[in-house]
A and B are shown apart, each in its own frame.
Chain A
Amino acid sequence: MEEKIVSLKQQGLTLKQIAEQLDMPIGKVQYAWRKWRSQHGEPAKPVAAASKRKTEGKKAMTPKPKQVPASSGKQVASTLQHELPVQSPLLDKGLGGFWKLPDRYDQDLMHAVVQSPNAVYVFWEVSDSVKETLSMQFMRPWEDLPKAFRILDITLLDYASGHANRSYTFELPEMTNSWFVRPLDPNTTYVFEFGIRTMEGEFLPLLASSPIDTPRAEPAGHGRFAEPVRRWQYGEVESPELLDTLPKYSAYRFVR
C-alpha cells in the first residue's frame, strides 16, 4: 500500500486525490507518505508541480516543519504575536485559583442561532485591539461609546452589497454580549450587527453575524425556495442557491 501511495504521489496526485482513489482516510495516506519521506530523507518538495493548487510561483514549497509544542515554563506573552499559544483559551482561574469558565476570549465574533420563527439568539465579543482602535479614533474610552444593535432583513439580497430590505437599530446596555432578538418574521434572512452609535448618531457596525434564515411557520405553497430546490435537484446549478447552516470552518481562513 505504501509503495502505491508513494508512486501516486510521485505522479503528482494530491494526498486527497490518492485517498479518494485508494478509498483510504487521508490521515492514513498522509501518515504513510510522511513516513516514507522521513525514511528516505526526501526533502518534501515538488509534488505540487503537477497539482492545481494555487501555490505556483512560490519559492519555498517545503512544508513548514511540524510545530513543536512550546517548551514548558515559557512566560505567557501578552502579545498576539504568532507564537504558539501557551495555554488553552478555555483555561481561566477564578477566586481561590479554581478553574472557571472564561468571561470572554478576546476575539471579534458574532454568532446567531435560531430559537424560533420569531426569535434568534445572538452572542458576540469585541477584542481589546478593536476597542482600543476605536478609542484612539474617537479619543474616548470604549466604555463611553454608546453601543447599539442592528437587525437587517437581507432576504434575497447579498449582505456584502450593503443593501437591506429593511433595518432596525436599537441601543444596547453597556456590557451586553448576547441578545434574544425578537420579534422577528418567519422565513426571512437576517444579519445582525453589533456596533457603536457615533457622535453624529450614525450606527457604526463592528461585528456582523452570518446570514441566517428564520424557519417557516406556515405552509409555503410554492415559495422562494421551490425554484432553487428544483434547479439543484435537476443539476441546473453547480452549487445549491440555498442558505445552508453549518459551514466548514478554517482556522487560517484569512491566511492565503
Chain B
Amino acid sequence: MKPGYFSLVLHAHLPYVRHEEKHRLEERWVYEAISETYIPILWQVDRLQRPLHWTVSISPPVVEMLADPLVQDRYVEHLDEMLELIDIELAEGRSEPEVETLHFYRQRYNDLKTTFLHWEKNLNHAFRTYREQGFIDMVTCTATHGFNPHLFTEQAARAEIRTGLNCFERHYGFRPTGIWLPECAYTPGVDRILYEEGIRYTFVDEHALLDADPTPDKGIGAPVYSPHGVALFPRDQIISGKIWSSMIGYPGHPDYREFYRDLAYDRDWAYIEKFMHPEGIRFDTGLKMHRITGDTDEKDFYVRAWAEHQIDNHALDFAQTLEGHLEAHGGQTFPPFLVTAPFDAELFGHWWFEGPEFLGKVAERLEEFGIETITPALFLERHFQDLETVHVSMNTWGRKGYGDVWINERNEWMLRHLHMMETQLVKDVADYRHASPLVDRALIQLVRHYVLAVSSDWAFILDGQTTAQYAAERFREHTRLFAELETALYQDKLSEELLADHYRAYPFLDDVDIDIDTFLSPHDYYVTEERGSEGEAILVLTPEYTGNVVGDLGRRVIDEVEARAAEGETVYVLTPFKEGLPEYERHNHVHVYRVRLTSPFLEHVMNQVAAQNVAYVKLVHELVTKVAFKVIHQFDWMTIPAARSLAKALQVPLYSTMLSFETTRNPHGHGGLFDAIHRIENSVLAEADTVYICEQLSTEEVGMRYAIGDNVKTCLPLDASPYGQKRLKKNTK
C-alpha cells in the first residue's frame, strides 16, 4: 500500500420538479439524470461488487422523486419512447457509424429498463442495497438545498438540516453522520447546528482551509474541525480539476460524446415531432450521435470503441497522477495525506457521458496501484485525534468561491420574502402549535412551502438565466401558497380538503419528516405558554424615570406610574437608556424598558430626540404583537413625535403631561431649535385627548403662546386616574 488515501464523493441533486400535469420539460431533468448518471453509476457498483469507499450523497428532492410512482411510471414510458425512436432511426438507413451508435443506444436503453424494473422502479432500493452490502457509503443533503449562509434564522437552517436527515432516514433506514452542505456553502455557526443534529463531517472547497485561521499545518492534506467540532473535508482542486474541467480535464477529449449536439436538432420537425413536446417545443432526446471532435462546429460521429479506449487511458492517467500526488506528500503522518474529491454526481454521465465508466475503471486502477481509498466516515474513525481545530469563514464552491452565484442583481429580489417566511414560521409555530391536529398539519405544510421556496436552485438558475422563468415562477408559486395557507390559518378556514390540495401541488416530504418545533424558540415558548396574560396596558413615554430623575418631571412620572400600578393597571414605561441601569426591569405590573438611541453619538439635540423617538416606535412595534395598549401617556415635549405617531397607528387615546413649555422655560427664546420645540409642543395640544399642565401654569398663560383648546387641564391629584374612563371603555374590546 502507498501512503495516503483517496476519497471520492458524489453528490446527486436536482430541484424538486415533480409536476402532476404531463409534459413538463423540467421533469426530463430527472429522466436524464437517471439514464445518464444514477443507473450508470449503479452499474459500476454492481459490476465491481466490492467495497469502493465511494460516498454518495443523495439530496431529499432526488430521494423523493425516485420514490414517486408518478415519476417512476413516466420514466418507463420515457424509456419506451426512446426505444421506439431508436428503432425508427435504425429503420431509416443511417450511415454505418450512426447505425453502430444506434445499436449501442438500443442495448443501453434496454439495459436501463431492465435495471430500473429490477429495482421495482425505485432506485433508492438499489443505493440502499449497495450501501447495506458495504460497497458504497451514503449521506444526504439538507431538505431542499437551501443556501445556508443566506438564511436569516437558526431555525430555518436547522429545519433544512433536520428535515433532510429525517427524509433520508425514512427511505434509507439509517441516519448518516455526514452531510453535503448545499453548494459546499459553509458559514460560521452552521457547524454548531450540524453538530447538534448529529452531523460529524461535511465538505468544503479547498480555500476554506487554505484561508482558515490559524492556517492548518497540513493545508488541504487533511480535514480540520470547525470551532463547533464538525470535520470539514476539503476539495482538492488539483485532482478534481483533472476530472471536472472541460479545458484541462478529461471530459473535453475529442473522442468523448458531444453534449451539445442532440439528434432532435438534426432531424426534420415532421419526423421528430412525435417525440417532442406537444406544444411544438424541441428538446434534447438524449440520443447524441457525435463526438467532441475538437474546437469546431463540424462534429464527427461518435465512435464508441474510441471513447472506451480513452476511458482506459484516462483512468490510468488519473491513477498515475494521484500516485504522484500522494507520493509527493508521502511524508505526512498523523493523519496520512488525504485527497478528497467531491463532485456533483451529474457531472459523471450527464455532462461527461463516459464519466461513470471512468470512475469504475479508476477504482480498478487504484487497486492495482495500491492506492487506498477511504470514506470520510472511516477516515474519522481512524484519525479523529489528529485533526486541527480552526476558524473557517464563509465560503462555497461556487463561482469565485463565495456567494456571487446566489446573491446578485438577478436574484436578490427573492431574499426579503424568504426571510419574511422564516420569521413568520417562527411566529406561527409559537402562536399556533398544538392548537389542533389540523393546525399542526397546516404548520407542517407551511414549512413544506417554505423549504420548497428556499431551494438554492432557483437563485442558481436565475443567475445562469437559462429557464429563468421557471425558477422565478416556482419561487412565486411556493410563496403564494405559503401566503394563502397562512391566511387560511389566521382566518380559521383550514380544512382537510384545503390541506390535501396544498400537499397535492408538491407532494414532497412526508409530514413525519417535518418537525414544527425546530422553529420554536425557548423565549417564544415562555411568552406564549408560560408568561401568562395581563390586562390592557398603559404605555408611558418619558424622558425621566427611576435612576434618571432630574427634576419635578421624573418624580411626577414615578408617582403617577406607582399610583396606576396600585390601582391594578399594567404599565409599560419607555425611557432613555442610561449607562449602569438595566435595559429592562419589572416590578409587578410595571415594565420598564430603558431604550437605547439608534445612535449614541449624535451632536444635535433635535437629532438625539429623533433617534430616541424612532427607537421607542420600533420597540412598541415589537411589543404590540403581544401586548395590548389601551392608552398612551407621554411626558414632556421630547416624547411627543413617537407618542403621536403611535397613538395614530394603535388607534388609542393620547394623554400628555407637560410640566413646562419651551416658552415658559425660556421666555425670551428664539432661533431654530426654539421654534422647532415650540411647533412640536403645539402639535400635541392639537391631538391629545387631554393635556395636563402643571399647577403653576395657567391655561391663559400657555394660551398666549400656544393654540389651546378645552382639552388642556391642570394635573389631577395622583389618586385620580387621568384617563377618562368612559372613553377607555369604548376602546377596549
Contact = CB atoms under 8 A, between A and B. Distances in A.
A208 interface: yes
Nearest to A254: B622
Interface residues on B, range: 35 or more
A2 to B, nearest CB: 15
Interface stretch (B25-33, B107-115, B129-137, B412-420): B412-420
Given A220-B214, A233-B227, A69 B490 contact: yes
B393 A213 contact: yes
Given A108-B618, A136-B641, A248 B153 contact: yes
A129 interface: yes
Interface string B415-441: 111011111101100111111000100
Contacts of B588: 57, 59
A36 to B, nearest CB: 13
B649 A53 contact: no
A37 B514 CA distance: 26
Given A66-B435, A80-B650, A248 B154 contact: yes
Contact of B190 (A102, A111, A246): A246
Interface string A184-214: 0001000001010010101111111000011
B482 to A, nearest CB: 6
A123 B617 CA distance: 20
B403 A249 contact: no
B430 A252 contact: yes
B531 interface: yes
A252 B431 CA distance: 10
Interface stretch (B85-93, B295-303, B624-632): B624-632
Nearest to B675: A139
B411 to A, nearest CB: 10
Contacts, number: 375
Given A82-B625, A249-B155, A225 B423 contact: no
A250 B652 CA distance: 27
A130 B215 CA distance: 46
Interface in A109-150: 111, 113-117, 121, 123, 125, 127-130, 132-134, 136-139
A252 B188 CA distance: 25
Counting chain B CB atoms within 10 Å of each CB, the highest count among A25, A132, A215 belongs to A215
Contacts of B479: 90, 101
A39 interface: no
Given A115-B402, A216-B393, A200 B609 contact: no
Interface stretch (B97-105, B117-125, B599-607): B599-607
Interface string B157-176: 10000000000000000000
Interface string A78-111: 1111101111111110000001011001011001
A31 to B, nearest CB: 6
A247 B153 contact: yes
B716 interface: no
A1 interface: no
A70 B489 CA distance: 9
Contacts of A26: 517, 520
B214 A60 contact: no
B367 to A, nearest CB: 36
A86 B491 CA distance: 6
Interface stretch (B143-151, B267-275, B316-324, B702-710): B143-151
A254 B619 contact: yes
A229 B483 contact: no
Q: What secondary structure prevails in chain B residues at the interface with A? A: helix
A133 B641 contact: yes
Interface stretch (B34-42, B237-245, B305-313, B522-530): B522-530
Interface string B482-494: 1110110111111
A113 B395 CA distance: 12
A175 interface: no
A226 B488 CA distance: 51
Contact of B188 (A85, A111, A244): A244
Nearest to B600: A162
B515 interface: yes
Contacts of A224: 213
A229 B390 contact: yes
Contacts of A204: 598-599, 602, 607, 610-611
A219 to B, nearest CB: 5
Interface string A148-168: 000000000000111000000
B430 A27 contact: no
Interface in A45-64: 48, 53, 55, 57-64
A137 B609 contact: yes
A251 B524 contact: yes
Contacts of A223: 213-214
B538 interface: no
Contact of A256 (B433, B586, B600): B586
Interface stretch (B73-81, B348-356, B500-508, B676-684): B676-684
A139 B641 CA distance: 10
B596 interface: yes
B607 A67 contact: no
Nearest to B432: A67
B594 to A, nearest CB: 12
B470 interface: no
B188 A206 contact: no
A128 B317 CA distance: 66
Given A80-B624, A82-B627, A89 B415 contact: no
Interface of A: 16, 25-27, 30-31, 34, 48, 53, 55, 57-64, 66-72, 74, 78-82, 84-92, 99, 101-102, 105, 107-108, 111, 113-117, 121, 123, 125, 127-130, 132-134, 136-139, 160-162, 178, 180, 187, 193, 195, 198, 200, 202-208, 213-226, 228-230, 232-233, 240, 242-256
Interface of B: 148-155, 157, 187-190, 192-193, 210-215, 227-228, 389-391, 393-395, 400-404, 407-409, 412-413, 415-417, 419-424, 426-427, 430-435, 439, 476, 479-480, 482-484, 486-487, 489-494, 515-517, 520-524, 526-534, 584, 586, 588-589, 591, 593, 596, 598-604, 606-607, 609-611, 613-614, 617-629, 640-642, 644-646, 648-652, 676, 679-680, 683
23 contacts: A70-B492, A72-B491, A81-B650, A85-B490, A87-B486, A87-B487, A90-B417, A91-B484, A105-B416, A123-B412, A123-B416, A129-B617, A133-B613, A133-B645, A138-B610, A180-B409, A204-B610, A215-B394, A221-B213, A229-B227, A229-B389, A244-B189, A246-B190
Closest 9 CB pairs of A and B: A244-B189, A225-B391, A88-B486, A69-B492, A251-B427, A90-B483, A162-B600, A220-B213, A215-B393
